[in-house]
Amino acid sequence: MEFTAEQIAGLLNGEIEGNPETIVNKLSKIEEGESKSLSFLANLTYEEYLYTTDASIVIVNKDLNLSSSIKDTCTLIRVDDAYQSFTKLLETYNQEKTNKKGIEKQTFISESATIGNDIYVGAFAYISDNAIIGNNVKIYPQTFIGDKVKIGDNTILFSGVKIYHECVIGKDCIIHAGAVIGSDGFGFAPNDNNSYDKIPQIGNVIIEDDVEIGPNNCIDRATMGSTIIKKGVKTDNLVHIAHNVVVGENTVLAGQTGISGSSKIGKNCMTGGQVGITGHITVGDNVKIAGQSGVSKNIKNDQVLQGSPAFTYKDYMKSYAYFKNLPSIIARINKLEKNNN
């Protein structure tokens, strides 16, 4: 698709410096800009590229003072916030790319399923009995939707997503390729034969509105009741959320975070990569946990944690100042003991 500078400025409420008829049909980084590409400058570290780029249109802040002349082939669009404006364009561009409709051949849709308007179902997708699919839902190829699953309007399921029976997905969600929603929780009881009996997992998973689940996430169904991912949660790649966990609104989980069964995570929390949270604990609201930390006890609101086992970031950094110097401290102690003898 092609757009003119005038069209883009109209969308962003921007001011044009240059040719309003300049045409672009692709996006680029400013340092890699080429003819007919659209770029932006928000970080002044990259300002030097503004004067050498071959990009045809560059979005910049209104208050940017040019220190040199740009190329005649480059048109500027000045906006209040270049980063936010470019993000808006990316969203528009992505919506156009994913705006598929229709049901492709070689799909299976149960006669008892309820299908909304303007949906897309890709090849080899399978929609089971009594599933309810909302309006404008996108179901990419090789996706499985189990019995009695409910999916809200405008949700996107990318290729290979598996949603087990009776799970509920809200509106405006994005679930990326390979994610498994509603597989059995890790429930086994030791028996007298030194083996394990499987505990039936009869609950489900509820994902509320505006949630984004990263590729290859696993969210286990509850033993009883529901595993709940609340509104606005975002998860990175390879996150595991175990049975009966509750993740609070607008919490963000980075890659390889693991949350054990029945733990409750508050709202507006953030975890770094490879964070582990043990089972049956409560993490309060607005908690930040640094990467590779291990959390094994209840955490109050507004804490910042690091370490394994995790403790407050401030205490961790004080301790680190000592234990990183342990070899030299031990050498000094040994020297003192030797002199005393």
314, 293 in Cβ contact below 8 A? no
Handedness of CA 314, 236, 220, 265 (dihedral sign): positive
Is residue 159 classed as helix, strand or coil in its secondary structure? coil
243 counts as catalytic: yes
User: Which residue among the candidates 165, 176, 240, 243 is catalytic per the annotation?
Assistant: 243
Q: Tell me which long-range contacts 247-256 makes (C-beta under 8 A, separation of at least 24).
A: 248/285, 254/291, 255/214
Widest distance between CA atoms in the chain: 90
Task: Tell me whether strands 304-307 and 282-283 are parallel, antiparallel or unpaired.
Answer: unpaired
Q: Which amino acid is at 292?
A: Q
Paired strand residues for 288: 270, 304
Strand order of the sheet with strand 162-163?
Answer: 108-109, 126-127, 144-145, 162-163, 180-183, 218-220, 240-241, 258-259, 276-277, 294-295
List active site positions: 243
